[in-house]
Amino acid sequence: MKYDPLIKVAFVRPPLSEHAFRGTGSYYRNLLISLKKEDGLEVTAIENGAPVGNFDIIHYPYFDPFFLTMPLISKKNTVVTVHDLIPLKYPDKFKSGIKGLFKWFIQKGTLCRSRHIITDSHSSKKDIAAITGFPQKDIRVIYLGIENVFRKISDNRILMPVLTRYQLNTPFILYVGDINWNKNIPGLIKALSFLEKENGAPQLALVGRGFVNNSGNLTEINKLISDLNLDGKIKRIADVPPDDLVALYNLAEMFILPSFDEGFGLPLLEAMACQTPVISSDRGSLAEISGRAVFSVDPNDSGQMGKAIKKLLKNKELRDRLVAEGILQSQKFTWEKTSRATVNVYKKILGIKEY
């Protein structure tokens, strides 16, 4: 479908290189590819701080409250994607320091001068409105999509080398993500300990660069693993190539996301697309995104989490039901839908009729 006039959009590259492949980097890359396929839209990727004189819309697909990721003043129509404000929602768990608070003061002012905010979930929309005072009518929820590479694989010639490469045994439980407080990794480790004391626990694979890069959170996690004598049960794996990640989802007996809060929860949907049953908490956006396609647990109750893992290991009928519902749920989330909804935000700002 063509629309007139041509909309010229500057799509600003995220400034932090550690988000290049997952998280914000995945959003930037996949949305840019999809937007470039839209008729009537001319999208140009630019560096942060580049001239923006010839564009109708400036879209910042990344926002960090504690880093200066936007110009102080912009005369252009600005759209900002704010994935979540979890660090500001739980200030006692995310220490920003004086410099961080000062930068947030500046970032908040810049954000509130934007024409529109895009966010990943209704949960995040509620938080953004409460924390910033930005009008809810100008915050649009647009769900993320799943890349097509996340799919069921049955070919052992693809799967077995990955199992060997990462020294994993089947069955194993999979977690993919970072190690911030809201991810509740200690709760997951305690759930594994609960199983180990009962009758023996399966292996747990923790995938993400946070599990190998030194940090205060990792020190605490490693100490807990050691204190609970679980070193032999837990594999810590850095970021893996996309093809290997797809294979790990396929190989896992289940995927688990035990978060205290989330802005979206993309790994949960990736696991569903690979036909892997999912255990998840129901906090933040997770109930909204997962629908009925997960085994829900209380993130504050590691014993309950352990029992859920045990039940899913033993109950094939339950696993099959979650897989079937997960396939249907994951199919609702595509980058084409994300792109089309994003174009509608641009059109609303410019006074052009939406799709």
Is residue 1 in some structural domain? no
Q: Is the pLDDT of residue 16 over 70?
A: no
Domain limits for position 86: 7-145+334-350
User: Are 169 and 74 contained in the same domain?
Assistant: no
Grade residue 1 by pLDDT with cuts at 50, 70 and 90: very low
Grade residue 20 by pLDDT with cuts at 50, 70 and 90: low
Grade residue 74 by pLDDT with cuts at 50, 70 and 90: confident
- Mean predicted lDDT score pLDDT of the chain: 94
User: Are 179 and 323 contained in the same domain?
Assistant: yes
User: Are 318 and 343 contained in the same domain?
Assistant: no
Is residue 85 in some structural domain? yes
pLDDT at 49: 86
User: Are 220 and 88 contained in the same domain?
Assistant: no
User: Are 196 and 314 contained in the same domain?
Assistant: yes
Grade residue 76 by pLDDT with cuts at 50, 70 and 90: confident
User: Are 218 and 277 contained in the same domain?
Assistant: yes
Q: Which two tokens stand for residue 274?
A: 């690979």
Query: What's the CATH number where 171 sits?
Result: 3.40.50.2000
Is residue 11 in some structural domain? yes
User: Are 61 and 161 contained in the same domain?
Assistant: no
Is residue 150 in some structural domain? no
How confident is the model over 118-161, as pLDDT tens digits?
A: 999 999 999 999 999 999 999 999 999 999 999 999 999 999 99
User: Are 162 and 278 contained in the same domain?
Assistant: yes
In one-letter notation, the amino acid at residue 126 is K
Q: How far apart are CA 15 and CA 18, in angstroms?
A: 9
Is residue 265 in some structural domain? yes
User: Are 177 and 136 contained in the same domain?
Assistant: no
Q: Is the pLDDT of residue 302 over 50?
A: yes
Is residue 341 in some structural domain? yes
pLDDT at 22: 60
- Tell me how many domains the chain contains: 2
Dihedral of alpha carbons 182, 329, 269, 121, sign? negative
Q: For the chain, what is the largest distance between any 2 Cα atoms, rounded to a whole number of angstroms?
A: 66
Question: Highest mean pLDDT range out of 39-53, 93-107, 326-340?
Answer: 326-340
Cα-to-chain-centroid distance, residue 62: 13
User: Are 59 and 140 contained in the same domain?
Assistant: yes
Q: How far apart are CA 309 and CA 302, in angstroms?
A: 11
Is residue 151 in some structural domain? no
User: Are 90 and 190 contained in the same domain?
Assistant: no
User: Are 124 and 166 contained in the same domain?
Assistant: no
Query: Residue 117, SS3?
Result: strand
Q: pTM of the full predicted structure?
A: 0.94
Pairing of strands 116-119, 203-207: unpaired
pLDDT at 295: 98
Q: Give every CB contact of residue 225 below 8 A, 6+ residues apart in sequence.
A: 189, 231, 234
Is residue 317 in some structural domain? yes
Query: 288, 141 in Cβ contact below 8 A?
Result: no
